[in-house]
Structure 1
Amino acid sequence: MKNKLFLILFLLTFSLVISQGKKDSIKSNPILYIGMNLGFVNGNFKGGIASFDLNYQQKNNLFTFKYSSILDFKKLKFFIVFPIANTISETEQFSLLYGKRYVEDGFSYHFSGGISYNTTDDRIINKRFSYFGFPVEIGVNWFKSKKKKFRILYGLIPIGKPTGFGRSIGLKLHANIAKKAYVGLGLNFGIGWHKKYNNEI
């Protein structure tokens, strides 16, 4: 129940932020994109992380809502030569971050910080507990610098008219300062509008 209430609060806050930027999006597209990050973490958790984030930028201000899932793989078993992960804990994390993002042609970099709500299911002591944290992240992304046709099937087939909507790829260094702290590095994939393209083609 707590997770649902926290998620609703985040979404309401994020919707208010987006509504404030509607005036800016009349002349050109908004900077609005979704990201997926896959990587590893170290610290109180040692394992893998997968996260999904929704990002909105107004001027140089970046607002992010993020959901993360962390699997702690401190114990590994091997079948012949293949490692098999023995998950000892699983953590769900909801984060709301604010930061600065700067765009230079087809490249951007950002740094953000905020608050997170975490729920860890510890399978060793068979206990589930929740706690708040302070997430921080630094990231870089590459995307198309000008409007182009969107491509499907691994970028092989262009469709429609030139558009600012497109994909991105980048790296993200992130951490969470909390009862269960960690630092991680991951590969980031995105889709959406990563800059204001105006009417340029």
Structure 2
Amino acid sequence: MAFFVGFLVLPSQAQDSLRTNPVLFGDFFLGGATGKMGGFASGLGLYRQHKQHLFSGKYLGLINWSVDFPGMPFVPLPLVKASNTVEELSLLYGLRLTEGPVSVSLSAGVSHAWFTATARDEENKTHTFHERYWGLPVELDFKLFKAEKEQFRILYGLVPIGKPIGFGRSIGIKVFGNISRRSYYGVGVSFGLGWHKAY
């Protein structure tokens, strides 16, 4: 918690008088991963930039499962035979560069993960295994966002409201991974909201 408070209130003396907003944004992403632990990936991130320094906190979830189709006539209903999940919390530091409506950032840090494996045996009994471990998360982000202040738009971007502001949406590509006991790497699409640069 102290980390989040710290990077939200970082001083901004380097911003000139025309730059009035903090560079502060969040994103949500969906993607896939492979490696020792792979599968469907999703997550949330919160980012604070000071000069070119980027501080972030991230939650990531990974899930994969094996499915069995019992021998049922005409309607083969799937049955989850085993599943593996990882929930991961990370704190990262990196560098972020912006040019017009585009940014690229590279970050690394430390993570703590909770791994859960669930499987059914031949007698249909469920067995669960839990494990916690530390890792080294890495993230490469490309984002597109509005280049200048403009009115916020609702209803699929058709209806502008209010005065021009710096707050807006972003879309991007996120390449992510973690070096740990259960290493993985993956790629996803991110969707964000916030102040993506000093306007």
| 1:139–1:170 CA contact under 8 A, matched in 2 | yes
Q: Deviations over 1:32-67 (max 9, x none)?
A: 001001000101123101100000000000001001
Most deviating of 128-137 and 79-88 = 79-88
Write the mapping of 1:20-59 to structure 2, written as runs, cut at 5 A. 20-21=10-11, 23=13, 27-59=19-51
Q: Is the 8 A contact 1:165 1:191 kept in 2?
A: yes
CA RMSD of aligned residues (A): 2.2
Per-residue CA deviations over 1:136-163 (Å, capped at 9, x if unaligned) read 0111000000111001122111110001
Amino acid at match of 2:43: S
Q: What is residue 9 of structure 2 aligned with on the other side?
A: 19
Identify the range of structure 1 (113-122 vs 20-29) with the bigger mean alpha-carbon deviation: 20-29
Distance 1:181 1:187 in 2: 20
2:149 pairs, out of 147, 150, 156, with 147
- 1:82 shift after superposition: 10
Contact 2:177 2:185 in 1 (8 A): yes
Instruction: Confirm or deny: 8 A CA contact 2:14 2:51 kept in the other structure.
Output: no
Larger helix proportion, structure 1 or 2?
A: 1
Partner of 2:124: none
Gaps of 5+ in 2: 120-126
8 A Cα contact 1:47 1:70, kept in partner: yes
Distance, in Å, in 2 between the alignment partners of 1:99 and 1:175 is 15
Q: TM-score, normalised by structure 2?
A: 0.86
* 1:170 counterpart letter in structure 2: G
Q: How many residues align structurally?
A: 186
How far 1:14 sits from its partner (Å)? 2.0
In 1: Cα distance, 2:54 partner to 2:184 partner: 23
Question: 1:87 and 1:160 mapped to 2: Cα distance?
Answer: 51
Equivalent position to 2:94, from 92, 99, 103: 99
Q: Tell me, in whole angstroms, the C-alpha distance in 1 between the residues paired with 2:107 and 2:75.
A: 43
Structure 1 residues 112-169: Cα deviation after superposition (integer angstroms, max 9, x where no partner):
0000000011113511110000000111000000111001122111110001000000
